[in-house]
Amino acid sequence: MPDASHPVPRQLDVLIVGGGLAGLYAIHRLRKLGLKVRAYEAGSGVGGTWFWNRYPGARCDVESLEYSYSFDAELQQDWKWPERYGTQPEILKYINHVADRFDLRRDVQLDTRITSAAFDGKANEWTVTTDGGEEIRARYCVMAAGNLSTPRVPDFKGLKDFKGKWYHSGLWPHEGVDFSGLKVGVIGTGSSGVQMIPIIAQQARHLTVFQRTANFSLPARNTPMPEEKERKHKAEYPQRRAAAMETPFAIAGHDKPTRSALDVDKAERDASYEAKWQEGGSISYLYAYTDLLVNKASNDTASEFVRNKIRATVKDRKTAELLAPKDHPIGTKRLCLDTDYYETYNRPNVSLVDVRSDAIESITETGLKLGSGAAFDLDAIVFATGFDAMTGALNEIDIRTTDGEALRQHWEGGPLTYLGVMIAGFPNMFVVTGPGSPGVKTQMIASIEQHVDWIADAIDHLHRHQLDRIEPTAKAESEWVEHVNRVADSTLYPLANSWYMGANIPGKPRVFMPYVGGFDRYKKHCDAVAAKGYEGFTLSRHETVAI
């Protein structure tokens, strides 16, 4: 008999972790199968990445007409994107619109963090607990917790003594921050830093940028949405969405390259890089030639072109050389898109400090100190220092199999998955765009839809065959991991110390996590696996024990 201190656990068909773009689409798609679903979201609103990352200048680097859901034809016709690239507030508004339009909110529990999930083999279900002490049971779990959702502030000593204010890009205050008249330090020059630096520079009395590794950045060339472009794109939406499925980045509208960068002479090559530089956007640039991400000599030509642009823009020679990346081929770390990033270093109130040659030693009461003893007085510090990417969100949850093995143990040497969507030994738990899938290397919403559709089809397949359990074999998992590594090793990606490799987190295993064989190849493979009766998975029926 239940009592108030031991309430009956909520019983679900599918528990979803996360109320971002993936969690919301999962609710919509799985509901259509008649399943009882509920998403649990740590934030006080839906939106995931776009709920948390409110730093100045936050904007998507994929064009807004592409970076949007494709599952509903009317939605994509109705929504008006005001600019070429969506700003964070605009994308969050869109996500909230979707939540209302498809009545998704009633199945989202906000302000709730999932803390553990344990599979009970006898009952054939997951027992999941929340930070509020609630217990939920579910036949299936869909982990839609995001790849860049675990913000990381480096473990600098002294941070607690800092008398000013500090912020992380991924945990930005909702009320915004006014840096007017302040001495500000930004640590980190990845996509987040590159977007916020030009805007903070306009407000701050002085901005000091602490750079460890220079990143390549291309001009976004954002504009208000041209009416004709929108009209044409919307008229062609079905064909464009279908065409995106046939590309490596799940983004349509770029002519497929046909030649190696080394097949043409320097003048022709530079003319094509210049055209792409003027056009703006990163996909277009990396798609200039067939081999920019697999042939170092080809890549050198594209890298040097951008380095020369930096040298031509930044007036101080020493600063320009520091900003010109030389330690990795262009595109092997996430390529940044910016508005006036390099120009910002010509402002008299901005300085660049190289913390590669002289590392940050500590945060002090009044600022920060480098190993050499050089000290900087700061009123505010912004950490644009990134995330525990791809594995952080799942490793924060205590996930255990029926025999007690923890996911953290299973992933001790790096993440192991089959297709990036399931894990051997963890039945009925799906991961959306997990490590081993191309998600983070693509137009993320397309990858989310592809995964959620695949997961929904798998669950539907089980039900239609009176089955209720699916898990990958250990063999399929290890062969997939080997394949992911082999593909990565055939490219230039492993040459960069990136978050794709776990390199930004001290002690994290250095394993290349995303699948870089291309979205098109990957989707075909996933479809073939399903068509062959879920090859590499064990599907079964379990007599469930009444609870």
Segment interacting with ligand NAP, rule: CB under 6 A, options 21-29, 241-249, 303-311, 379-387:
379-387
* Closest alpha carbon to 418 in 400, 436, 406: 436
413: how many CB neighbours lie within 10 A of its CB?
A: 9
Residue closest to ligand NAP, measured at CB: 190
Smaller CB separation from ligand NAP, 140 or 387: 387
For ligand NAP, the binding residues in 80-119 under the rule CB under 6 A are none
Q: How many residues bind ligand NAP (CB under 6 A)?
A: 27
Segment interacting with ligand NAP, rule: CB under 6 A, options 182-190, 268-276, 421-429, 517-525:
182-190
Q: Is the dihedral of CA 326, 331, 334, 336 positive or negative?
A: positive
In Å, how far are 19, 58, 109, 133, 417 from 43, measured between CA atoms?
Answer: 8, 18, 9, 17, 27
CB of 156 to ligand NAP, least distance (A): 7
Paired residues of 470 in beta bridges: 539
65 makes contact with ligand NAP (CB under 6 A) = no
d(CA 400, CA 119): 6
Single residue of 154, 253, 414, 536 touching ligand NAP by CB under 6 A: 154
Single residue of 56, 86, 188, 518 touching ligand NAP by CB under 6 A: 188
Segment interacting with ligand NAP, rule: CB under 6 A, options 54-62, 105-113, 366-374, 469-477:
54-62
Smaller CB separation from ligand NAP, 212 or 461: 212
213 makes contact with ligand NAP (CB under 6 A) = yes
For the chain, counts of helices (H) and of strands (E) = 17, 22
434 makes contact with ligand NAP (CB under 6 A) = no
Residue type, 152: R
Residue type, 511: V
418 makes contact with ligand NAP (CB under 6 A) = no
CB of 433 to ligand NAP, least distance (A): 12
Single residue of 68, 96, 189, 491 touching ligand NAP by CB under 6 A: 189
Q: What is the 3-state secondary structure (H, E, C) of 328-377?
A: CCCCCCCCEEECCHHHHCCCCCEEEEECCCCCEEEECCCEEEECCCCEEE
244 makes contact with ligand NAP (CB under 6 A) = no
Dig out the tokens for 526 from the structure: 């996933």
Q: 3-state SS of the chain: helix, strand, coil percent to 5?
A: 35, 20, 45
- Computed on alpha carbons and rounded to an integer, the radius of gyration of the chain in Å comes to 24
Phi and psi torsions of 446, nearest 5°: -65, -40
222 makes contact with ligand NAP (CB under 6 A) = no
Binding residues for ligand NAP (CB under 6 A): 59-61, 148, 154, 169, 187-193, 195, 210, 212-213, 334, 337, 355, 360, 384-387, 499, 504
